[in-house]
């Protein structure tokens, strides 16, 4: 298929994080044609395989290409399907049922043991970049695989929190080109950015971070802070809990279930973190300074 047939979107064998197109820009009474960069959105199918040769698809999500193996590893960790010690290898899929043009959109996680026999695998996780994935439908089910986080030694100042949004924004290289991506950043208590990931889906960005930590043997992230560019949802809090992250900060509002999860499992949740103001919804004991 020609480039013109695809609306000026170039066809490549391996999709990248940005796609260049031609647009007409209107400004007042003038118009001009120019090139523009868009955040790429492509499907990613996540499969798992066992040593006995069995294979299953566990997720199909829309994502921004890049760090695909981390996304798969983080997703499986967040859903309780595989921890770092359960994974033998991760690779792009070369199964016969996957056409060559789709192989960079299909990842297989090769497990060391059998595929988990979990109720959540009775259906595929059909997800989108907008809504994310939640394998556990309620807080009660989380108790089967997650424990409340200990208080620990982490204590943060309000000034530390106020600096997180700008620090994350400076790490958003693709956002700077497209203006259309969510981001998640992992910080130490001293304010150092350890890693940042971008994606059209805010949950995917968190999965990529958790997957990076899992693949580099850094879990649990008990002395780190997660900063996300959007709102704090139940899914994001679930992923943070599974990774052992005690503090989650968001530029926008949390959902009611996100707050419930944070309070029940001992996470600190900060929302509306903009400029020099924020709301602390849970875990105020980790924030130094006046709380009254």
Binding region: 272-277
The residues near 83 (Cβ < 8 Å, ≥ 6 apart) are 77, 214, 219
Coil, strand or helix: which one is 262? helix
Catalytic residue status for 93: no
Instruction: Compute the distance between CA of residue 82 and CA of residue 69 in angstroms, rounded to an integer.
Output: 13
Instruction: Compute the distance between CA of residue 123 and CA of residue 110 in angstroms, rounded to an integer.
Output: 20
Q: Give the torsion through C-alpha atoms of 237, 243, 249, 251, to 10 deg.
A: -70
The residues near 180 (Cβ < 8 Å, ≥ 6 apart) are 38, 39, 200
CB 51 within 8 A of CB 27: no
Beta bridge partner(s), residue 38: 19
Burial class of residue 147, CB neighbours in 10 A (0-12, 13-18, 19+)? exposed
Instruction: Compute the distance between CA of residue 184 and CA of residue 237 in angstroms, rounded to an integer.
Output: 13
Residues belonging to the active site? 131
């Amino acid at each position: 298929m020609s480039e013109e047939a695809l609306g000026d979107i170039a066809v490549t064998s391996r999709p990248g994080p940005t796609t260049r197109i031609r647009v007409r820009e209107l400004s007042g009474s003038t118009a001009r044609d120019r090139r523009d960069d868009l955040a790429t959105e492509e499907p990613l199918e996540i499969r798992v395989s066992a040593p006995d040769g069995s294979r299953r698809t566990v997720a199909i999500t829309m994502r921004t290409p890049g760090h695909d193996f981390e996304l798969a590893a983080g997703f499986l960790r967040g859903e309780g399907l595989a921890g770092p010690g359960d994974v033998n290898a991760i690779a792009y899929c070369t199964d016969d049922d996957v056409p060559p043009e789709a192989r960079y959109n299909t990842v297989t996680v090769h497990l060391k043991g059998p595929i988990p026999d979990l109720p959540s695998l009775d259906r595929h996780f059909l997800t989108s970049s907008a809504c994310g994935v939640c394998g556990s439908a309620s807080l009660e089910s989380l108790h089967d695989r997650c424990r409340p986080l200990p208080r620990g030694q982490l204590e943060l100042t309000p000034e530390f929190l106020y600096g997180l949004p700008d620090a994350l924004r400076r790490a958003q290289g693709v956002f700077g080109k497209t203006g259309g991506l969510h981001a998640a950043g992992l910080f130490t208590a001293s304010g150092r950015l350890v890693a940042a990931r971008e994606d059209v889906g805010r949950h995917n960005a968190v999965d990529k971070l958790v997957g990076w930590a899992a693949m580099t043997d850094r879990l649990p992230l008990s002395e780190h802070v997660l900063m996300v560019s959007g709102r704090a949802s139940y899914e994001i809090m679930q992923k943070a809990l599974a990774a052992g992250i005690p503090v989650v900060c968001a530029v926008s509002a949390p959902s009611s279930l996100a707050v419930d999860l944070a309070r029940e499992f001992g996470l600190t949740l900060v929302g509306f973190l903009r400029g020099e103001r924020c709301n602390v919804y849970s875990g105020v004991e980790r924030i130094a300074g006046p709380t009254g």
